[in-house]
Amino acid sequence: MADVKLIGSPLSPYVLRAILALSLKKVEYELLEEKFGEKSELLLKSNPIYKKIPVLIHHDRPICESAVIVEYIDEVWPESGFGAILPADAYHRALHRFWTYYVDDKWFPSLVAIGKAETEEAKAEAVERVRAGLLLLEEAFVKLSEGKAFFGGDRVAFLDVMFGCFVNWIVAAEELVSVELLDEATVPALHGWAVRFREHEAVKEVMPDSGRVLGFLKILQAKWKADAAAAKKKL
Amino acid sequence: MYSATGINCTPMAGAVVEDVKVLGLPLIPFVIRVLIALRLKRVEYELVEVQIAEPKSEILVKSNPVYKKIPVLLHRGKSICESAVIVQYIDEEWSDGSGSSSILPADPFDRALVRFWAAYIDDKLPAPVRALRWGTEAEKAAELAGQIRQALGLLEEAFVECGKGKGFFGGDAVGYLDIALGSCLGWIRALEKAKSVKLLDAEKLPRLTGWAERFLAEESVKGLVPDADEYQKFYAAAEARTSATPAA
């Protein structure tokens, strides 16, 4: 019986964060995949507040929220695998946490808005917001990487995981709406980082390819469209 | 030592003296969190009051270009933004190694628990509190008050698991979650008074009620959480300014 369980599917970028962290630490775990559209008894019991994935279960105790889970994994297995995920000094930790907050608060919702957009104008607006966000993240990368490969410098660190979980979502969105987002001309540093991140030993083993993500994104898009139509009918 | 607001900040015994500034306003709960954290670590600071309505203060825009919001911590030429990020920075930057003045608990699971609940507080409280404060529809008000009560109800239960029978969410001493929720107490009490509604109901939430009293009496907290009347004065002044200004 596995001591470490993770409830969720790698197609969820938030679950992928936990998977990436466990992969970086080379920690063995049991993945309990949820069926899309259904919530298992275990999920409802382990995360009664939000009823959402991911949930990490360690020594039979649940830990919820992807950022909380990744920090937990880092603290419980500090030296394992590729070593520390959170940077060593307080200031860099603050910067990684701040940009993670920004990604969750502003950037990813703008990427989702591309998929939810019902008109060409809405789509174009959403694309512009995503691009503006990527420019900010490009600046952050240049500052944090200090000329090295990752947000963590030589090593994959917290922000690499918390933002890197979206790299194939960006590719899928690009294909979905035929626009370039993470292109070499406008965001060269991030473009290079994304390539290197995908190639990292701990990442390529676990990251779903953009084809799979695109397939999932299309299912989500259909669901969003249906939800929006149902909501309009109610008005 | 005087802050930019002219308030006399008496140096604390055994205080750490470095150049620490907080951009903020003393009534904002997210700012109060930072001030409590600095007090707990006995770190001297200067509270620099800034303009948060347009046109925003230049120092605010420069040090938090992404959000242009308070609080911002300025330390050794660096700026740190987002209250949760700042409080953890304070905990890690001024750690005395022995863990005695630790804001977050030592055990990883306990840390995960308080981080979860602190994020929950920010997810569930500010929006309905603001909406209730500034909204006018009675029906909507009842719904919003219900949301706030529900969130506080879950925190009443969380107090048992986190506090482990002691006086604070952090156990024997004020910790991360105490700060996250405690900083909002003045806000909540002001709302109760302004809207004649019970939110932190002593009968329904006895543990939180007892905790609130203890929290506000703590040395590190005293004077930092304004009471309901101070918020009322601030809101009244803000409303007077808004009604005096012709619509754009």
Q: Residues A106-158: pLDDT tens digits?
A: 999 999 999 999 899 999 999 999 999 999 999 999 999 999 999 999 999 99
H/E stretch holding B192: helix B185-195
Q: Scanning every residue of chain B, which has its alpha carbon at the shortest distance from the alpha carbon of A102?
A: B66
Q: What single letter denotes the amino acid at residue A213?
A: V
**Which chain A residues are within 8 Å of B112, Cβ to Cβ?**
63, 68-69, 71-72
Asked if the Cβ–Cβ distance from B109 to A68 is below 8 Å, we say no
Q: Which of B80, B84, B120 sits opposite A49 (nearest CB)?
A: B120
The torsion angles phi and psi of A38, rounded to 5 degrees, stand at -125, 155
Task: Give the strand order in the sheet containing A61-64.
Answer: A30-32, A4-7, A55-58, A61-64
* Cα-Cα-Cα-Cα dihedral sign, residues A104, B133, B223, B25: positive
Size of the A and B interface in Cβ pairs below 8 Å: 56
Q: What is the mean pLDDT of residues A52-78?
A: 98
Indicate the DSSP class of residue A107.
I
In 3D space, the residue among A43, A36, A29 whose CA is nearest the CA of residue A11 turns out to be: A36
CA distance B163 to B168: 5
Write the pLDDT tens digit of every residue in A3-60: 999 999 999 999 999 999 999 999 999 999 998 889 999 999 999 999 999 999 999 9
Which tokens go with A84?
């520390």
CB < 8 Å to A68, chain B = 112, 115-116, 119
Share of chain A above pLDDT 70, in %: 99
Q: Match 């909501």 to its residue by tokens.
A: A231
Tell me the C-alpha to C-alpha distance, in Å, between residue A11 and each of A19, A161, A220. Answer: 11, 15, 11
Question: CA A205, A177, A197 angle in degrees (round to 5)?
Answer: 25
Separation between Cα atoms, residue B195 and residue B197, nearest integer Å: 5
Q: Are the C-beta atoms of A202 and A156 separated by less than 8 Å?
A: yes
Q: What is the 3 state secondary structure string of A195-224?
A: HHHHHCHHHHCCCCCHHHHHHHHHHHHHHH
B86 at interface of A, judged by CB pairs closer than 8 A: yes
**In angstroms, rounded to a whole number, what is the distance separating the alpha carbons of residues B129 and B110?**
28
- Do you know the residue count of chain A? 235
Are B81 and A98 an interchain contact pair (Cβ–Cβ within 8 Å)? yes
The alpha-carbon gap from A63 to the nearest alpha carbon of chain B, in Å, equals 7
Using the predicted structure, report yes or no on whether residue B4 has a pLDDT greater than 50: no
Which residues contact residue A150 at a Cβ distance below 8 angstroms, ignoring those fewer than 6 apart?
Answer: A156, A157, A160, A193, A196, A197
Is the CB of residue A94 less than 8 Å away from at least one CB of chain B? yes
pLDDT the model gives residue B240: 83
A173 min Cα distance to partner chain B (Å): 24
Q: Do the Cβ atoms of A91 and B80 come within 8 Å?
A: yes
Distance separating alpha carbons of residues A17 and A6, to the nearest angstrom: 11
Q: Which residue of A has its CA nearest to B91?
A: A90
| Residue B8 scores a pLDDT above 60 | no
Smallest Cα distance from B215 to chain A, Å:
25
- Cis omega (within 30 of 0) for bond into B71: yes
Q: Is the ipTM of this complex over 0.85?
A: yes
**Residue A108: CA count within 13 A, CB half-sphere:** 18
Residue B7 has pLDDT above 50, yes or no: no
Query: Does the pLDDT at position A80 exceed 90?
Result: yes
Q: Decide if B82 and A101 are in contact by the 8 Å CB cutoff.
A: yes
Q: Which residue of B has its CA nearest to A78?
A: B108
Determine the Cα angle at B127 with ends B23 and B156, to 5°: 100
Burial bucket for residue B8 (CB in 10 Å: 0-12, 13-18, 19+): exposed
| Chain-chain contact of B119 with A68 (C-beta, under 8 angstroms) | yes
Residue B89: both structure tokens together: 């920075």
Contacts of B99 in chain A (CB under 8 A): none
Cα distance between residue A167 and residue A170, in whole Å = 5
Query: How does residue B11 score in pLDDT terms, banded at 50, 70 and 90?
Result: low
Q: Is A138 on the interface with B (CB under 8 A)?
A: no
Q: Do A68 and B154 touch (CB under 8 A)?
A: no
Residue with tokens 């660190």: A157
Residue A88 has pLDDT above 80, yes or no: yes
Interface contact B124, partner A, CB < 8 A: no
Of B85, B108, B109, the CB nearest to A98: B85
Q: Is the preceding peptide bond at B55 cis, omega within 30 degrees of 0?
A: yes
What does the pLDDT look like over B224-245, one tens digit per residue? Answer: 999 999 998 988 887 787 776 6
Please give the pLDDT value at position B55. Answer: 94
Contact call for A64 and B85, based on CB within 8 A: no
